[in-house]
Each structure stands twice: as C-alpha cells, then as structure tokens.
Structure 1
Amino acid sequence: MSKYSIAEFIRQTEQNDELKAKFELETPRMLEVNLKDFIWAKAGSMIAYNGKIKFEREGILEHGIGTLFKKAFTGEGASLMKATGEGALYLADKGKKIIILELHNETIFVNGNDLLAFEPTVKHEIKLMRKVAGMMAGGLFNIRCSGSGLIAITSHYEPLTLRVTPGKPVLTDPSATVAWSGNLTPEFQTDISFKTFIGRASGESIQLRFEGNGFVIVQPYEEVYFQQSQS
C-alpha cells in the first residue's frame, strides 16, 4: 500500500476507539471528550461529535449576578457552553496545543482565552485584573478553577513552566501567560508613561510579577489584548 494512499491516510488519522477516559487527546491539538453527562467548554470550540449531545450557551444568570457583572467586561473570551448528553465530543481552539490537567482539591488560574473545557465538579470563577484597566482589552481577566476533576487548557505551540520560589520572582508578559498556581497573586508592573504608551501595542512594557512559591505557565506567543485607539 502506498504511504500516500487514502486508505493509509485514514489509518493514520482516524479516531482511536480504544481511548475511553473522560478527556483524551485525539491529537495534540484536538480534545476528545467521552461524554456521559455534561461538561463546560469554551463557546465555539466544538468541531465534531457523535451520539446525542445538546449544546447550550451559558445562561446569563447561570452562576449568579456577580458573574453576570464580570462577564459584561470580559467579552467573548470567557463565554462558555454546556454540552449535555452521551457520545464522543471533539473540541479544538484555533489549532492551539491542548494540555489536560487533573485537579485533586487544587486551584489553578487560567487566562480567560486559554480555558478549553472542564468537568462540572470543577468550580470556576471569573477574576478581573483591575489594574491598568482601559489599557488592555480582552486580557484583563482570568478564570479560577478549583476543586477536583479534569480541565483542558490551550497554548500556542509548546508551553514552558517556570518555578516561582521565595526571593526569586518571575515576571511574564501578560499576553504570553497561560496559567499559574492558585497560591500566587500576580501584580502588574509597568515601566512606561502614558506618553510612551500611546500609539504602541507592545506588551514588553507591562509585566505580571509573581512572588512566592508556585509555578507559571507561559507560551512562546503573544496574544494581542491591547486596545488600539482609532481616530
């Protein structure tokens, strides 16, 4: 059989029916969810499914008025959908690499644009990063995931995890920061004036400073969160 034949292509890329865990990587950039009840997923991330699955956009009062207020400021990046039913569900997000993590009564903060899916046993809460409000659009928020269960996060290309230890802070570009451990509270650090900021969209002048004991996950890619002024 030719290595370029259609049959060989199907053999190499077809669904692997042997995988039966709740979350599995069908490919490094495609998540398979073996659904038997429901999960939360990033709105618009469904690319295929089989079985009987119903999709509903997260209700505006699904998690209380506080979340509703926060969502008014975070835009589409934090929008979730509920996938309910039974079958195989396939999720992806702009070809980004997918990382599956299992929480055991733990907490992790994830950039609002990088949370792909999570089990209903994982509690989530939108957290606004209020400092430098008005300077960034879409990148001001993250999602606190806590409890026990599976979550899937995304990264442009291969992620890097940096250890944060006492006395050795880690500074990151907010646009390249994917997630961090729940015991860390980053602070914005800026070395620019309003005059130098106007007309620029450079993330290097604003950093997130992490101090304490934990970890930070970064990606080799800067997502654009800065709001361009228009005249």
Structure 2
Amino acid sequence: MNRYSIEEFVKNTEQVDKGEGFFELETPRMLEVNLESLVWAKAGSMVAYHGKIKFEREGVLEHGIGAMFKKALTGEGASLMKATGQGKLYLADSGKKIIILHLQNEAIYVNGNDLLAFEPTIKHEIKLMKKVAGMMAGGLFNVRCEGTGLVAITAHYEPLTLRVTPNKPIITDPNATVAWSGSLQPDFQTDISLKTFIGRGSGESIQMRFEGDGFVIVQPYEETYMTAQS
C-alpha cells in the first residue's frame, strides 16, 4: 500500500474503541465521551459526534450560580454546556493536551479556561477571583470540582505539577496556572519590581501564592483572557 495514500492515512488516524469507559483519549488532544445520559463540557468544545445528542448552554442560575455572574458567563472562559443523550462525543480545545483525572471523593480547582469536561456525579461551582477582577482583563475564573468521577482538564504543551508543603510555598503566574488541589486557597500578590523589569501590562505583575499542603499544576504557556462583553 502506498504510504501516502488516502487509504493509509485513514487507517492510521481512524477512531478505535479502546474500551476505556466513559472518557477515552483518542489522541493526546482529542477526548471521546461514551455518552449514555449526561456530560458537562466546555462550551464550544464539541468537534464531532454521532448518535442522538442534545446540547444546551448552562443556565445562569443553574447550580446556584447568582445573577451577578450573568455578564461574566458570556465570556468563554468559564462557560459550560451540557450534552444529553446517547452516542459518541468528541471534545477538544485549541489543540491543548488533555489530562483525565479520576476524583475519589476529592476536590480540585481548575482554571475556567482549562476545564474540558466532567461526569455529572461531580459537583461544580464557578468562582470569580474578585481580588484580581480589577487587575486582569476580565478577572480570573476557576471551577471547583468535587466528588467521585472523571474530570478532563487541558494544558498547553506538557504540564508540570509542583508540590506545595507547609514550609515550601509556590508562587505562580495566574496565566500559566492550570489547576490546584481543593485544599489550597491561593492569595494574590503584586510584584512591582517584576512589573518594571519586564515592562509589560499590569496583569503581568500579579502572582498567585499557594501555601499549605497540596499541589499546583502549571503549563509552559501564558493564557490570555478576554474581557466579557455585555
């Protein structure tokens, strides 16, 4: 067979069932959901599906989210949709690498831009980091995922996990911070010397400080956030 033939290309790239269950990594950057009832996913992350699946954007008041988030949720950073029905659903987000985590009565905070999908058994709550809302364009959202089930998150390139211990706080760039353990509550600090040294916008000097016992996941890339439109 010609190594560059269409037949050979299809053979090398076609979808193959691996029998891994609800979430299956078809490629490092494409998630297959074997849908039987419901899955939550990032709005706009659907690339293909087959079967009978209905998509619906998350309601503003769903799960107790107050009306104060209405404007903020019009931005893509923390917008979710629910897919209901039966079939196979394929999700991706700008070619980012996908990480599947199985929570076992645990909690994890995920940057709103880096949450791809999660099982309906996972409770989620969208939070706006009010302290940085005035300092960064559009503020910074995170989603607290808690319970038992699968969560799929994304990262640009290969993520790095840093351990946080009581005697070893970790400071990160908010734009490069993907997720952190549910036991940690980051503080925000401004480094004026860093701001003057690199000569960038005001958001660049804001840092997240993690203290306690847990972990934080960072990526070798600075995500940019758009201000939500009214």
User: Do both share a fold (TM > 0.5)?
Assistant: yes
Cα distance in 2 between the residues matched to 1:108 and 1:196: 34
Matched residue, 2:190: 190
1:161-203, Cα deviation, whole Å (9 max, x unpaired): 000111111010000000000000100111229x969x83265
Matched residue, 1:148: 148
Q: 1:139 to 1:8 in 2, by over 3 A?
A: farther
Cα distance in 1 between the residues matched to 2:108 and 2:142: 10
Matched residue, 2:88: 88
Moved more, 26-35 or 5-14: 5-14
1:87 is paired with a residue whose SS is: strand
- Structure 1 position 126, deviation (Å): 1.1
Written as runs of structure 1 = structure 2, the 5 A alignment for 1:70-219 is 70-74=69-73, 75-192=75-192, 200-201=200-201, 204-219=204-219
Asked if 1:69 is matched to 2:85, the reply is no
Aligned identity (percent) is 77
- Structure 1 position 61, deviation (Å): 2.1
Q: Contact (CA 8 Å) 1:180, 1:217: kept in 2 or not?
A: yes
TM-score by length of structure 1 reads 0.90
Q: Contact (CA 8 Å) 1:97, 1:157: kept in 2 or not?
A: yes
Q: Contact (CA 8 Å) 1:25, 1:31: kept in 2 or not?
A: yes
Cα distance in 2 between the residues matched to 1:161 and 1:202: 26
Written as runs of structure 1 = structure 2, the 5 A alignment for 1:38-49 is 38-49=38-49
2:71 is paired with a residue whose SS is: helix
- Structure 1 position 46, deviation (Å): 0.4
One-letter code of the match for 1:69?
Answer: M
One-letter code of the match for 2:71?
Answer: A
One-letter code of the match for 1:174?
Answer: P
2:7 is paired with a residue whose SS is: helix
Cα distance in 1 between the residues matched to 2:107 and 2:155: 19
1:78-97, Cα deviation, whole Å (9 max, x unpaired): 11111000000000000000
Consecutive unaligned residues of structure 1, counting only runs of 5 or more, are: none
TM-score by length of structure 2 reads 0.91
Q: Contact (CA 8 Å) 1:173, 1:203: kept in 2 or not?
A: no
Q: 1:71 to 1:98 in 2, by over 3 A?
A: farther
1:53-86, Cα deviation, whole Å (9 max, x unpaired): 11111122222352x3234335321111110000
Matched residue, 1:2: 2
Q: 1:50 to 1:122 in 2, by over 3 A?
A: same
2:123 is paired with a residue whose SS is: strand
